[in-house]
Amino acid sequence: MSEDIELAAAVARLRDIERRIATACAEVGRDPAGVTLIAVTKTFSADEIRPVLAAGHKVYGENRVQEAKGKWPALREAYPGLDLHLIGPLQSNKAREAVELFDAIHTVDRPKIAAAIAEEMARQSRRPRLFVQVNTGEEPQKAGIAPADAVAFVDRCRSEYGLEIAGLMCIPPVDDAPAVHFALLAKLAREAGVPGLSMGMSGDFETAAQLGATHVRVGSAIFGGRS
Ligand SMILES: *Cc1c(COP(=O)(O)O)cnc(C)c1O
């Protein structure tokens, strides 16, 4: 495909998602400006991402520190003013690079990570926005703090590590209706006193927007399927 056609197709998909978010919000009387669309670029190359950058989209998500490190420093230089979010699991030995690279981290889910991030934030004088990941489906293989422990963990992030928590994040179980999980996350966020809700992916971002998402994370609906 020529660059022009790729650009037009990417812009069309992006605008379609934005329109669907606006329609979903209108149905519940929400201002769509309160929903940030994170374009999830994991597994896609810089060349595949460029048309969406050229379309003016500013907010992106990656799920691996190493992969992001390979792609984004050069893209950030070419397209100033980007907002890059880490949406995948973080190991404490990658906290330094994560704080260097990302403007937001959605996967704070245990004291060791909170401590490592706090230390790096102090060292680097960078303050990425932080979300606590909640394992709303209590799936053993999935990352995230248990729902019953979420409020206490947010409190501990504040009091013990001096971290400001911007919101909560969840990835519902694939076989469940997502609305139950989104509603649970919204309830926990109210209890914890945090404003942000990172929830909703390609298959369910409209439901998430209707249940209060402040950040939806959409990959394949913009960039196509991942191999
Ligand atoms: C890959 C990923 C997404 C985007 O998934 P799509 O179904 O492609 O929209 C959202 N959130 C997380 C945490 C992801 O890893």
pLDDT above 90: percentage of residues in the chain: 92
Catalogue the long-range contacts made by 54-62 (C-beta closer than 8 Å, 24 or more residues apart): 54/7, 54/10, 55/7, 55/10, 55/11, 55/14, 57/14, 58/82, 58/83, 59/83, 59/85, 60/84, 60/85, 61/85, 61/86, 61/87, 61/106, 61/217, 61/219, 62/86, 62/87, 62/88
> Which SS3 state, helix, strand or coil, does residue 49 take?
helix
Which of 201, 215, 222 gets mutated to test ligand 1 (max ligand atoms within 8 A of its CB)? 201
CA 19 to ligand 1 center in whole angstroms: 19
pTM as predicted: 0.97
159-205 tens-digit pLDDT:
999 999 999 999 999 999 999 999 999 999 999 999 999 999 999 99
For 63-207, strand residue ranges (E) read: 83-86, 104-108, 129-133, 165-169, 196-198
103 has a pLDDT exceeding 70: yes
CA 200 to ligand 1 center in whole angstroms: 8
The pLDDT of residue 227 is: 74
| Cβ neighbours of residue 55 closer than 8 Å, sequence gap 6 or more | 7, 10, 11, 14
99 has a pLDDT exceeding 80: yes
In sign, the C-alpha dihedral spanning 166, 155, 63, 99 is positive
Q: What is the Cα–Cα distance from 87 to 69, expressed in whole angstroms?
A: 14
Query: Which numbered atom of ligand 1 lies nearest the CA of 218?
Result: 9
The pLDDT of residue 104 is: 98
Which of 217, 220, 222, 227 gets mutated to test ligand 1 (max ligand atoms within 8 A of its CB)? 217
Nearest partner of 170 among 108, 101, 84, 94, judged by Cα: 108
Q: Which of 16-25, 53-62, 218-227 has the least mean pLDDT?
A: 218-227
215-218 and 36-40 as β-strands: parallel, antiparallel, unpaired? parallel
Summarize the confidence of residues 110-125 as an average pLDDT: 97
Q: What is the Cα–Cα distance from 99 to 126, expressed in whole angstroms?
A: 7
The pLDDT of residue 218 is: 97
139 has a pLDDT exceeding 80: yes
Q: Which residues pair with 167 in a beta bridge?
A: 131, 196
59 has a pLDDT exceeding 90: yes
Summarize the confidence of residues 115-136 as an average pLDDT: 98
4 has a pLDDT exceeding 90: no
Confidence of residue 1 (pLDDT cuts 50, 70, 90): low
Summarize the confidence of residues 148-161 as an average pLDDT: 98
The mean pLDDT value of the chain amounts to 96
CA 123 to ligand 1 center in whole angstroms: 31
The pLDDT of residue 9 is: 85
62-74 tens-digit pLDDT:
999 999 999 999 9
Q: What one-character DSSP code corresponds to residue 88?
A: S
Confidence of residue 3 (pLDDT cuts 50, 70, 90): confident
The pLDDT of residue 224 is: 86
